[in-house]
């Protein structure tokens, strides 16, 4: 069985993919998004830390970053609409089907890439609180 962390990430990808279809959701892409593949929503894991130990349970904080990449004259509008839909999908069920304790929005930024005329990257960060057993990362607590 996969870890709770992996199941949380897969649940996030599934929810985002459903909410913004037919736009692609790319998890931790290793190469830049091509002009032809945009707009796209990228999912990055910023880290996973321990928030608390209680007996045999561990509260964890998973940091994720979504980044919408869009190009063209309406890139800001497209990026904003995609991020609005992704945000709604992520926060519609803050327990992610029983895998998480909470989902919390942290911040959002605007970034324009002058090197690629009209490219916009709109990143937003979220924190997912979840609980595992101390000795078994596949078991929720």
* 114 pLDDT more than 70: no
Rounded to the nearest integer, the mean pLDDT of the chain is: 92
Q: 4-133 adopts what CATH topology?
A: STM4215-like (3.30.2000)
Distance CA 46, CA 38 (A): 22
CA distance 50 to 1: 21
Terminal alpha carbon distance of the chain: 15
Q: Is the pLDDT of residue 110 over 80?
A: no
For tokens 């945009």, what's the residue?
38
pTM over 0.95: no
Q: What confidence score (pLDDT) does residue 111 get?
A: 62
pLDDT at 115 over 60: no
Q: Alpha-carbon distance 42 to 112, whole Å?
A: 16
pLDDT at 72: 86
Q: State the pLDDT at residue 116.
A: 60
Residue 51, CA atoms < 13 Å, CB-side half-sphere = 14
Least confident of 16-30, 66-80, 99-113: 99-113
Distances from the Cα of 3 to the Cα of 28, 31, 123, angstroms: 18, 26, 26
- What is the model's pLDDT at position 64? 97
Average pLDDT over residues 95-116: 82
The residue ranges of DSSP E strands in the chain, in sequence order, are: 24-27, 40-54, 57-70, 102-108, 111-113, 119-133
């Amino acid at each position: 069985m996969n870890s709770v962390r992996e199941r949380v990430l897969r649940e996030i990808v599934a929810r985002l993919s459903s909410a913004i279809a037919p736009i692609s959701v790319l998890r931790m892409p290793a190469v830049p998004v091509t002009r032809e593949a945009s707009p796209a929503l990228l999912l990055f894991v910023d880290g996973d830390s321990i928030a608390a130990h209680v007996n045999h349970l561990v509260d964890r904080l998973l940091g994720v970053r979504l980044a919408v990449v869009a190009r063209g004259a309406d890139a800001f509008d497209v990026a904003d609409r995609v991020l609005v839909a992704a945000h709604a999908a992520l926060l519609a069920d803050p327990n992610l089907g029983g895998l998480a304790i909470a989902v919390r929005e942290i911040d959002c930024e605007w970034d324009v890439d002058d090197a690629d005329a009209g490219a916009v990257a709109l990143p937003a960060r979220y924190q997912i609180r979840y609980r595992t057993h101390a000795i078994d990362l596949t078991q929720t607590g």
